Amino acid sequence: MEAAFETLRANGFAGTSARSIARTGRFNQALIFYYFGSINELLVAALDMSSERRMTRYQETLAGIDDLPRLLEAAASLYREDAECGHTTVLAELFAAALAVPALAAQLKVRMERWISFTEELMRRFLGHLPLSGPSDLRAAAQATLALYLGIDLLVHADGDWTRVDIMFEEARRMGAALHPLLERS
């Protein structure tokens, strides 16, 4: 799974094959099919491995945070970690591949559910008491947040401009600081 993750990270979906994964991991490519049945199943398992690590990191980092400005600061740091370890690249590559592989799309949808629920719970914890007019759909907001997460990564990969991420998180921190007094009163 580590070899599959690293190969997908370095070569993209189009450049990832049983041969390239086996070369990265220094093992016989037949082992991929013996243990996983297909390359796509191996790639999904590699994503699961990375996602589990990242979820644990998110839960540990965000557990003790009780104000919006600190949450947004931590989110920026976690996003950078995601990018540096290759998680965002692997996720973006698999989502791009899912456009042509419906079975992969179905697997990704299932796997994103945990992240949607996690994000929705964070939003409920930090924003649930805001005096908003009408009911708010925090699930839709969580889905939009994850779409933004993937989208900004795609933009960065297109032109390598990391300032986009810095600007986005700086603006989020600025807005969070403005909202913070409202959250304290509720």
Q: Over the chain, what is the mean pLDDT?
A: 90
CA distance 89 to 37: 24
Q: How far is CA 54 from CA 84, 86, 89, 133, in A?
A: 12, 11, 13, 35
Q: Does the pLDDT value for residue 185 go beyond 90?
A: no
Tally the domains of the chain.
1
19: in domain: no
177: in domain: yes
What's the farthest any 2 CA atoms get from each other in the chain? 61
In three-state secondary structure terms, 147 is helix
119: in domain: yes
Torsional sign, CA 144, 147, 149, 151:
negative
4: in domain: no
Other CB atoms within 10 A of residue 162 CB? 11
The mean pLDDT value for 147-171 works out to: 84
168-177 pLDDT, tens digit each: 888 888 887 7
Residue 110: domain span: 48-185
13-46 pLDDT, tens digit each: 999 999 999 999 999 999 999 999 999 999 999 9
CATH of the domain at 154: 1.10.357
Q: What is the 3-state secondary structure (H, E, C) of 41-103?
A: HHHHHHHHHHHHHHHHHHHHHHCCCCCHHHHHHHHHHHHHHHHHHCHHHHHHHHHHHHCCCHH
Model confidence, pTM: 0.88
101: in domain: yes
33: in domain: no
23: in domain: no
78: in domain: yes
